[in-house]
Amino acid sequence: MFHVIERLAEELRRARRVTVLTGAGVSAASGVPTFRGAGGLWGSFRAEDLATPEAFARDPRLVWEWYEWRRAKIASCEPNAAHEVLARWTIESPHHTVITQNVDDLHVRAGTQRLVRLHGSIWELTCWNDCGAPRWRDERVPLPAQPATCTSCGGLARPAVVWFGESLSSDDVNAALAACSCDVFMTIGTSALVYPAAGLVQHATAKGAFTAEINLEVTPASSAVDLAIQGNAELILPEIAAHLLKRV
């Protein structure tokens, strides 16, 4: 393990522009339940049957009950060492970018700068009727109205997250693609299965980046990157950070 961590640290030491793509594995150590791992009542529901516009149109109260459960779970979580290392890198260099598939905003709470949130935020809401009101942030748990209502028109509000069958924000996709023009591109805690995020590693490779993966298990991206490390991000990233502090 030491030699692969030292190798990645050396690449990062030489790099001017670094981009990191994160997934659920980064937040697992903080206690954030996985998207498909809800227990109790929610164990009888598939996420794909709840996180859709069709499900919300059919039963907005049920969908909001699920999101309120998730919000309450996430509210009790704190950023872990992986979030803290990545946040520090973005603070120390304007050329370090984090792209995340997570909606928990633990990167935000850790202080990450220039964060690209591909799938939105569970703490933000938007009008279901698209009345034109800008999305707003509300971290109250639980929300006062069930289901939540729009602060502008009073109609239904929905979580400002990207649901199955919906397109990602073009601004976020463009920001992610632009960040692929980097010296080192790392994918951390994600299976790299969901597009367009899954294609970012290939895009970075085509741009000439050194690519690396940190994940508990081998993923479809493992064979496509220059360096694959199996392990916990909250343990490996602090090790890498410690190596970076050493004088060459």
Write down the catalytic residue from 95, 119, 203, 243. 119
Triad 207, 212, 217: Cα angle to 5°: 135
Active-site annotation holds for 107: no
Q: How far is CA 59 from CA 65, 78, 147, 201, in A?
A: 10, 31, 10, 37
Q: Which helix (H) or strand (E) holds 121?
A: strand 120-127
How many Å apart are CA 200 and CA 20, to the nearest integer? 10
Give strand ranges (E) for 1-108: 18-22, 96-100
How many Å apart are CA 121 and CA 117, to the nearest integer? 7
Residues acting as catalytic residues: 119
